[in-house]
Amino acid sequence: MNIFLKNPLALSGLIIILTILILALIAPIIAPYDPSFIDINSILFPPSINHLMGTDGLGRDVFSRMLYGAQISLLVGFVAVGIASLIGVILGSLAGFYRGWVDSLIMRFVDIMLSIPTFFLILAIIAFLTPSIWNIMIVIGLTSWMGVTRLVRAEFFSLRQREYVLAAETMGSNHFSIIVKHLLPNSLTPIIVSSVLGIASAVLVESGLSFLGLGVQAPTASWGNILTDGKEYIQFAWWLSLFPGLAILITVLGYNLLGEGLRDVLDPKNKD
């Protein structure tokens, strides 16, 4: 913990993420307007006391939509990374523990998936599905597990011949017990760091899909579709592009800083 507290960048990342998380959780309380409320008398108002981040082309309050958009971005990030981590841990554990043909089969599948540009793969899948937040989360999760698989496999390779694992096998512990009780707990560091960094990637992907009109659909607010609204008025309604762009930038930066800080804290080589 001392290492984390002495790392200003990691602390900055934690503060950023906690702030965004708190704002997202209390959005229904602090949002001054309904994010879907259309006010034809307030179309494209610049930032002011009444509308802190201005209004969009339908007169909706951008600040309220930004707060609710934070909920969508964080939800997509957490659920998508949860799916990806679950798949990656299972496949990586099997490959690293059993090796041989099991490892070869899984890793060839990983190689095939890595050879396909992930974003274009997501676009191709989404094109055949109804755009919705649940479809987006599932698709991002199902196309983002390869890195976790390789990390877990590498950790299992290094731990497989440790004395405590061999002792467990000698005592008759079954494979599932050895994996869950001995190998996975000692492989958590790369999994946690990869998951934190993966949330940043998921936020970027969701924002990109929403910007292209294939992600979260109106009237539900997300940072990506707020950016989409802003591109039509970018020459004179700068706030529609500036605020969601900054939110995405700061969120991704926060997760990256936090991930790097956790890597320093959880790495045994850095312990006093």
**Helices and strands (H and E) in the chain: how many:** 13, 0
Residue 269 has a pLDDT of 53
Residue 95 has a pLDDT of 92
Residues 103-130: b if buried by 16+ CB within 10 A, e if exposed: beebbeebeebeeeeeeeebeeebeeee
Tell me the C-alpha to C-alpha distance, in Å, between residue 253 and each of 4, 205, 246, 249, 260. 17, 15, 10, 6, 11
Residue 2 has a pLDDT of 65
How much is the pTM?
Answer: 0.86
User: What domains are defined for the chain?
Assistant: 74-270 (1.10.3720.10)
Give the C-alpha separation, 7 to 243, whole Å: 28
Closest to 20 in 3D by CA, of 57, 61, 69: 69
Annotate 151-215 with three-state secondary structure: HHHHHHHHHCCCHHHHHHHHCCCCHHHHHHHHHCHHHHHHHHHHHHHHHHHHHHHHHHHHHCCCC
Written as six digits, the tokens of 76 are 């997509």
For residue 61, list its beta bridge partners. 55
For residue 55, list its beta bridge partners. 61
Give the C-alpha separation, 86 to 148, whole Å: 9
Residue 24 has a pLDDT of 92
Give the C-alpha separation, 9 to 4, whole Å: 9
pLDDT digit of tens for each residue in the chain (272 aa)? 566 677 787 888 899 999 999 999 999 999 999 998 888 888 999 999 999 999 998 899 999 999 999 998 889 889 999 999 999 999 999 999 888 899 999 999 999 988 888 888 888 887 787 777 888 888 899 988 999 999 999 998 888 878 888 887 788 778 888 888 888 888 888 899 899 999 999 998 888 888 888 777 778 888 888 888 888 888 888 999 899 999 999 999 999 998 888 887 776 555 54
Residue tagged 């910007």 (tokens): 211
